[in-house]
Amino acid sequence: MLNTNKIREDFEILNKSIKGKPIIYFDNACMSLKPKQVVETMNRYYNEFPACGGRSLHSLGKKVTEEVRNARKTMQKFINAKSEKEIIFTKNTTEAINLIANAFNLEEGDEVITTDKEHNSNLLPWQRLKETKGIIHQIADFNDPEDLKNKITNKTKLISMVHSSNLDGTSINAKEIIKIAHYNKVAVMLDCAQSIPHKEVDVRKLDADFIAFSGHKMLGPTGTGCLYGKEALLEKLSPFIVGGDTVKDTTYSTAEFEDLPERLEAGLQNYAGIIGFAEAANYLMRIGKKDIEQHELKLNKKITDELLKINGFEFIGPKEAEQRGGIISFNIKNMDPHNIAMILDQSANIMIRSGAHCVHSWFNAHQMKGSARASLYLYNTEEEANVFIEEMKKIVKFLK
């Protein structure tokens, strides 16, 4: 069981108020808050060793190289990767997916399967490759492994699926899907941006070939992310972005590329961000993902049970909280979701997200403009849930 009061002491922003009222932050599927441990770790880079890693042989340069290597080992432990070479630092999930899309050596006629609930980050790279390379992009039903199985052909090279949807919080059965894919000799990439901050993701238990995730959704800094890949598969990737740090040597016409992981991490890296990212992973490992998952589910169930009593309230996704993790995506009949978000913000400092949540394709297919979305995390409390429920009741009552 989480000690939420103690956890909240680590988040300075939660001790502040706006117009005399506390902040209730329910926009965690978009961006999580940052604990002081992450901020202090990043400041340690700028204050104590603000130099260049991997290149300079002086003391500060060696310290940066050591800290980045320790960060890589932390991320290896965080997802139970076999080797630190399997950890590629990126700017975010989007960059990690684009790296695979452009480095996986797909050719004209090769097929890639995604689902109907993909974030634009896992939709647009494949649309682009369809235009530029002539690949075939298949879309399977997120909720139906049989549909996925039926779409696999002898031309399918990669299945790239969101693990947990930011649209409604539901998750795929990743282990089953990976088993189906591997039986057909197809590689699988999971977009874990929404799953890894909230529940255990063990790449070896899942047998995932690639996963992508971001720092900013798991208490880490913005501009940080990770691509995991099995070492043997990463070795086969063609370099995507090339330049400094990706090569051992060059002539005017040739290049000798570095070994993993450096050859996939072009240019000077976000050192402060990388070590802050690792500190966020350490923070989550100290708290425990299972306790975080149970805490969010408890709050979601409390909110869901009360909102289901309100006439005109419509959930996106299943009504059962157990199937939606920490996400409550909803609409109120005859009310624009942006107006719901603005009223909650102005009346009680309740910060949620409204709109299409970067899943425009799903909303367009269902002829919907969007939804309001409350998303929970480890520092949210039952008191905050109660305030949210009462404010929602006021909004619906006002509409009558």
The residues assigned a catalytic role are: 358
Residue 170 CA to residue 316 CA, distance in Å, equals 10
Q: Which residue has the tokens 């998952």?
A: 293
Yes or no: say if 199 and 82 are a contact pair by the CB < 8 Å rule. Answer: no
Q: Determine the distance from the C-alpha atom of residue 122 to the mean position of all C-alpha atoms in its chain, rounded to a whole number.
A: 11
Residue 343 CA to residue 338 CA, distance in Å, equals 9
Q: Shortest CA distance to 270 belongs to which of 237, 303, 222?
A: 222
User: What angle separates helix 271-287 from helix 289-307, to the nearest 10 degrees?
Assistant: 80
Helix (H) or strand (E) holding 355: strand 353-355
The amino acid at 51: A
Both ends of the chain: CA-CA distance in Å?
40
| Two structure tokens written together for 108 | 């004209």
Q: Which residue has the tokens 């959930």?
A: 315
Question: Coil, strand, or helix at residue 281?
Answer: helix
Yes or no: say if 352 and 330 are a contact pair by the CB < 8 Å rule. Answer: no
Residue 122 CA to residue 130 CA, distance in Å, equals 13
- Contacts (Cβ under 8 Å, ≥6 apart) of 161: 113, 114, 115, 118, 122, 142, 172, 174, 177, 188, 189, 190, 191
Instruction: Say whether the peptide bond before residue 35 is cis (omega within 30 degrees of 0).
Output: no
R_g of the chain, CA atoms, integer Å? 22
Question: Residue 245 carries which DSSP code?
Answer: T
User: What angle separates helix 271-287 from helix 59-79, to the nearest 10 degrees?
Assistant: 40
Q: Give, in degrees to the nearest 5, the angle at Cα 189 between 188 and 194.
A: 135
Yes or no: say if 226 and 248 are a contact pair by the CB < 8 Å rule. Answer: no
Paired residues of 228 in beta bridges = 87, 211
